[in-house]
Structure 1
Amino acid sequence: MTDRKNRLDLIPGTLCDERMWSRVAPLLGGFDLNHVPLHKARTREQMRELIAAHSAPKTNLVGFSLGAYLAVEYAVAHPERIGTLVLIANSCKGLLPTEAQARKRIVAMLEKNAYSGMTRQRLRELLHPAHMADESITGVIQQMAVDLGKEVLLAQFTTTIDRVDYMDRLHELPFPVLIVGADGDQLVPAADLRDMASRLPAARLEMIAQDTGHMIPLEAPEPLADLLNAFYR
């Protein structure tokens, strides 16, 4: 039987599955990694149900991007079920206006056209320039996009563009929280992460500086693993 203290319940981001964690997973020693299959949900309610169904009763919840926002939402609704919380590349204020508009444009195009995977423009928004030619990173992202496909992307975009601002609820979360951001993330303002950390009773904020954009688990697996191992130790 798995020791719940060593179990991490991982929530991926938009158009991602367990492959999002493929580069960091081998670097996490002694943990049982449990993946929340977010791609199976088609509504926000189903997303919440999947997190509840696939997390431990007292969970060490780790969320990336959309998954981190949903982790905050789950923690605010059920603080008694959270042991620890790790939030990677996400602002609980929701999306920047520019990102929300970009997603609405993508939805409009998807509804009219076939979907063949991530565009180079979208990759440039997600990745640090240093990684645009790294197929070990771009290949994982592209394969997830193709495999999960148009239906998953449309569902995740249309149901999560409008997000509640949870900043004023963070003081209600008393458990240890690790916030991880990247200086090169074009989608998540560092100021939002500092604001989040200041409002949480027991938070650590760590910013990864080295050639890292939004896709932290793929772009910076070693620094992220070091932060996670230290946090849980």
Structure 2
Amino acid sequence: MRSPMDNHALPLVLIGGTLCNPRLWQPVLDRLNVSDVRCVTLADATSAAQASRSLLSELPPRFLLAGFSLGAIVALQMVADAPGRIAGLALLSVNPLADAPENAAPRREAVRAARQQGLTNWLSASLWPKYVAPSRVDDQALHDLICLMAEESGLDTLAAQTEIAITRRDNRAALAALACPIIVINGLHDPICTPHHHQRVAQSAPQVKLFTVACAGHFTLLEAPDEVALPLRHWIQECLHA
């Protein structure tokens, strides 16, 4: 017997984070049964509003939407811009707040450092310890996969994505009016998008369901695909029957 997820007409749109590509989603997709998946890599836009406009102009009238980290910021912008087109929303490792103005200079300096040092060297020294739970810091295969995505994405993409982070807006108010299932998934050991950030999202709308992955840091999708796939599977089923 075929699952309803084999046949549904709603595509699942996945928006990756900074220096991420479809490799980010593959371990979880291997655990789901979804036939129509669109993986989005944020590469050209320099604001969440610009990325939202571009995606909404290309996507079908209704879709399920999941965003990770920077992709979740863009997903929230899409919620604000076109709530009626979104049949379900999943936010993973999200900071919903507008960026503090004083963060702009260090963010742009980080891009310059990455250009000087090379993406892998820069990421390994500055971001890797913040990306995963302490128990995974010595996981060389996971480290190499994240660095591979960064190298495949490239420095120009990092520069554009940094501008999205700097100029993002707080779109939590749009969640309260969103008439579809919403889930939020975070890693307990994430110092970038902290449990507090996810609580702020969960408090924004009564229909938000919050799931915390106790063994993961920021990269929940790669650190704990089984634990992430389970609530995503239930969310998809709920969306299809809403």
Alignment of 1:151-190 (within 5 A): 151-190=156-195
Which of the residues 128, 136, 147 maps onto 1:142? 147
Q: Does the CA-based 8 Å contact 1:128-1:185 persist in structure 2? A: yes
Distance in 2 between residues matched to 1:72 and 1:59, nearest whole Å: 14
Distance in 2 between residues matched to 1:166 and 1:140, nearest whole Å: 31
Q: Does 1:85 align with 2:89?
A: yes
Q: Deviations over 1:114-135 (max 9, x none)?
A: 5342223310011112222223
Alignment of 1:26-105 (within 5 A): 26-39=30-43, 41-44=44-47, 46-95=50-99, 102-105=106-109
Unaligned runs of 5+ in 2: 1-5, 238-242
> TM-score w.r.t. structure 2 length?
0.85
- Say if 1:137 and 1:50 are closer, same or farther in 2 by CA, change over 3 A: farther
Report the AA paired with residue 13 of structure 2. Answer: D
Deviation at 1:175, TM superposition (A): 1.6
Distance in 2 between residues matched to 1:213 and 1:230, nearest whole Å: 22
Identity %: 27
Distance in 2 between residues matched to 1:133 and 1:98, nearest whole Å: 32
Distance in 1 between residues matched to 2:133 and 2:141, nearest whole Å: 14
Q: Deviations over 1:29-67 (max 9, x none)?
A: 24432111322x142255224422453311100100000
Report the AA paired with residue 19 of structure 1. Answer: R
Identify the residue that residue 118 of structure 2 maps to in structure 1.
Answer: 115
Distance in 2 between residues matched to 1:26 and 1:108, nearest whole Å: 36
Q: Does 1:127 align with 2:132?
A: yes
Q: Does the CA-based 8 Å contact 1:64-1:88 persist in structure 2? A: yes
- Say if 1:33 and 1:83 are closer, same or farther in 2 by CA, change over 3 A: same
Q: Deviations over 1:134-174 (max 9, x none)?
A: 23321211111112111111111133223212233332222
Report the AA paired with residue 176 of structure 2. Answer: H
What do you get for the CA RMSD once the two structures are aligned? 2.4
Distance in 1 between residues matched to 2:141 and 2:177, nearest whole Å: 40
Unaligned runs of 5+ in 1: none
- Say if 1:96 and 1:181 are closer, same or farther in 2 by CA, change over 3 A: farther
Equivalent pairs counted in the alignment come to 229
Q: Does 1:220 align with 2:224?
A: yes
Deviation at 1:110, TM superposition (A): 4.1
Worse overlay, 167-176 or 118-127: 167-176
Report the AA paired with residue 146 of structure 2. Answer: I
Identify the residue that residue 19 of structure 2 maps to in structure 1.
Answer: 15
Worse overlay, 174-183 or 196-205: 196-205
Q: Does the CA-based 8 Å contact 1:12-1:63 persist in structure 2? A: yes
